Amino acid sequence: MKHILSSVKLLIVISVFLACYSCNQLPSHDQLTEEIVVDPALDSLFIWLNKNNMFNGAVAIKKEGKLLLKKGYGFANYHRNDRFQPSTSMEIASVSKQFTATAIALLIQEGKIGLEDTVKKYLGEDFPYEGVTIKNLVTHTSGIPDYEDYFKSNWDTTKIATNADIVRYFKTEKPGGLLPGQYYHYSNSGYILLAEIVEAVSGETLDTFLNNQIFSVANMKQSGFYHRDSIWNIQGYAPAYMIGGKECHYSKPEHLPKKNYYRFLSGRFGSGRQSSSVDDLIKWDSILYTDEILTERGRALAYTIYPPEKDSSDYGFGWHIYHLKNLGKVVYHTGSWAGNQSYIKRYIDQKSVIVLLNNTHSPYMKEVRSILDDYLEGKPLRRPRVRAVEQLKRDICNLNLHNLKEWKLEHPGMIWDTVQLKQLLTFYDSYGDENKKAIILSFWNVKS
């Protein structure tokens, strides 16, 4: 009887473990989160940015190897009221490309593929683009056109498009492109094809390969790939949001007008879709100074610019690259997709790094990046000015012709951009929203 009870208990434990493992639940914040504030000025800046709806996410900043800030600000999930923390995972969009490129670098490092190998060698003779090499795909010089416009116009939006569907499109439709190696043209298509090459060579899909060869090695526990429909209820995960112009509040991006492609194009990877956390990206930065993943030769491969024959470029293996006179080599990448915004910038010779993850499609992200770049390069911190149009998008649902003056007094010093204002007016006009149109016209006498 005791043996039977012990067996039952064991089965229960195993069942619970498997249920937790299969539910895509990330490790709990209590076990993982450590917020670090060494530089109060940086912390004060991000508290202010969050309060003014300019930043919502997590940040980590190192200067000369010393961690100055690692902290979350705002909400990771507005429906669950989960707070953003350094361990919070979210989709990093095109920052994913450096991981895809590293997978290629690993295969080159192991002698399994060559940089000048043709794509046909791995994707078949029916691949229609002659002379395109792996180097062309990695460095955005393949000349292969983008796939998104075709899928937005022709795809069955009830289905999720995958890499296989995109490869099939190129092989059957054979859209025209440019000669390979001639010009730089940023290409999501190229990185999807790279993911397929990784699978063809290694026998593992890109997500499995990255997990085995990078995430596990670097102890990146919050990194991986998720089905889009599942991300809204995962503990420790930050789905992204965008402001709905009609409702003035955060909405699921795919529910906004003409944005349903955020869902039906969510099945592809290589060019994007990877999720990670600030904690993990700091680990990623650190391990790239060692030989644990890429050897010195592999790192040299990654941080070299490969310019095309008739154009200029600053691109290496998933990194934009440049040099600063006093600070040496700098590599970086940005990402933006479905409300997710990401940024990693590494001052390699200085061992300094900036990591930013934001999940609210902030129009201030470019300025925030610039502020932090300047700070690590010796300039004082500054604060962005509030943009009137962005504030209006949030507040206009509660405004009328009687409280406009009071609203304007509550937001002094805003930047007024008449071009953006007219665009907003056109947007409201397309929905026949006379109240919002009247509010804009009464403020600035803009002609519709």
The per-residue pLDDT for range 243-263, each reduced to its tens digit, is: 987 788 899 999 998 999 999
Cα–Cα distance, 304 to 320 (Å, whole number): 10
Buried b (16+ CB within 10 A) or exposed e, 226-245: bebeebeebebbbbbbbbbb
- The whole-number pLDDT of residue 30 equals 43
Q: What are phi and psi of 315, to 5 degrees?
A: -105, 140
Count of alpha carbons within 13 angstroms of residue 429, beta-carbon side: 11
What structural domains does the chain harbor? 93-376 (3.40.710.10), 388-444 (no CATH)
Which of 226, 205, 113, 132 is closest to 170 using CA atoms?
132
In the predicted structure, residue 14 carries a pLDDT above the cut 70: no
Please say whether the beta carbons of 318 and 333 come within 8 A.
Answer: yes
User: Mean pLDDT throughout 7-30?
Assistant: 37
190 CB-near residues (< 8 Å, 6+ apart): 136, 137, 138, 140, 142, 144, 271
pLDDT of residue 128: 95
**Which whole number is the average pLDDT over 127-132?**
96
Rounded to whole angstroms, the Cα distance separating 346 from 358 reads 18
Alpha-carbon span 23 to 168, nearest angstrom: 31
Q: Which residues contact 211 (CB under 8 A, 6 or more apart)?
A: 224
Q: What is the mean pLDDT of residues 122-150?
A: 96
pLDDT score at 57 = 98
Whether 5 has a pLDDT exceeding 60, the answer reads: no
Question: Residue 310: which residues within 8 A CB-CB, separation 6 or more?
Answer: 182, 183
Residues 6+ apart with CB under 8 A from 156: none
Q: Give the dihedral of Cα atoms 243, 247, 248, 251; nearest 10 deg.
A: -30
Per-residue CA distances from 61 to 275, 281, 361 (Å): 19, 11, 21
Q: What is the pLDDT of residue 444?
A: 65
Q: How would residue 33 be classed by pLDDT, with cut points 50, 70 and 90? A: low
* Averaged confidence pLDDT in the chain: 90
CA 350 to chain CA mean position, Å: 25
Is the pLDDT confidence value at 158 over 60?
Answer: yes
The whole-number average pLDDT for the span 390-396 is 92
Q: Would you state the pLDDT for residue 32?
A: 54
Q: Which of 12, 19, 318, 283 is nearest to 139 (CA)?
A: 318
171-220: per-residue pLDDT in tens? 999 999 999 999 999 999 999 999 999 999 999 999 999 999 999 999 99
pLDDT at 7: 39
Residue 269 corresponds to which tokens in the numbers above? 């990877």
The answer on pLDDT for 371 being more than 90 is: yes
